[in-house]
Amino acid sequence: MSDLAAMLAPDLSTASVLILIVASFFTSALTAAFALGGGVTLLGLMTLVLPVAVLIPLHGVVQFASNAGRLAVQRRAVVWEKAVPFILGGLIGAAIGARMVVSLPESLLQTLLGGFILLTVFVRLPSLERLKNWHYALAGAVTTFLSMFVGASGPLNAVLFSRAFSQREQVVATMAAVTASQHALKVIAFLAAGVVLWPYAGLVAAMIATGFLGTLAGTAFLKRLPEARFRIGLKLLLTVLAIELLRRGLLGLIR
């Protein structure tokens, strides 16, 4: 078993490799059922065992594959007329973010975004079903731009799409399409920068495989989940993620 772990990932223990492979299943299932939460959870676990130099690139590759798999499974529920403008706007946001010379204050952004998400969760806001395509393009540009500085695109995307669509399948599937595109942009940037991930190719392949199985399990759960319970679960996940953003942001400002 230890020899297999060494083949999958250098410098990682057998236990660490197994934890990441199993975690990929459960976190993908969580995201497939509720549209978000799995990526952040997986990143937290990967932080504990992976070298900092490859942490974000590896997470980006695994998350791109996870969302692409979810997109393939749930493609019939994607609202493409809204997803495409969002993705095109994301290209603009990524281009602008990549060219920013001055780094934005991450702690302040985390605090503001956490507060904004909590506000949208607990304050009754009107439905966003009548938004125009240019609104989605603008949202894609803004959230992708922000994702270049803080990892908050998932919760922000969920705020938009959960109020734009009345059916849970549309929320989760369309989120898969736009999130996959955002991770794809990051993966392209990593490869262009010359990041070397081949030593971890085995681990990535194993995590992608178990992640796809998790996507199938989460999708099956989503189909049986009542709409009201889906909304409660999504609201709970958004609240937890927003509080975590606030915690990190406020601690950063205090320091």
The pLDDT of 62-79, averaged and rounded, is 93
| Residue-level pLDDT at 81 | 94
- Residue 148 pLDDT > 80, yes or no? no
Q: How many CA atoms lie within 13 A of 232 on its CB side?
A: 5
- What is the rounded distance in angstroms from the CA atom of residue 190 to the CA atom of residue 187? 5
Report residue 137's pLDDT band, with 50, 70 and 90 as the boundaries: very high
Give the predicted TM-score (pTM) of the model: 0.81
What 3-state class would DSSP assign to 79?
coil
The radius of gyration of the chain from alpha carbons, rounded to an integer in Å, stands at 18
What pLDDT digit, counting tens, does each position of 169-181 carry? 999 999 999 989 8
Task: Classify the C-alpha dihedral 242-136-163-56 as positive or negative.
Answer: negative
Tokens standing for residue 55: 């942490």
Which of the residue ranges 45-54, 121-130, 160-169 would you say has the lowest mean pLDDT?
Answer: 121-130
The H-assigned helical ranges of the chain are: 2-8, 14-34, 38-49, 52-74, 80-98, 106-122, 133-147, 153-164, 168-192, 201-224, 227-254
Predicted confidence at residue 4, as pLDDT, reads: 57
What is the DSSP secondary-structure string of 174-232? HHHHHHHHHHHHHHHHHHHTT---GGGHHHHHHHHHHHHHHHHHHHHHHHHS-HHHHHH
The most confident of 39-43, 128-132, 203-207, by mean pLDDT: 203-207
Q: Inform me whether the pLDDT recorded for 151 exceeds 90.
A: no
pLDDT of residue 205: 93
Helix (H, G, I), strand (E, B) or coil at 130: coil
pLDDT for residue 5 is more than 70: no
What pLDDT does 250 receive?
92
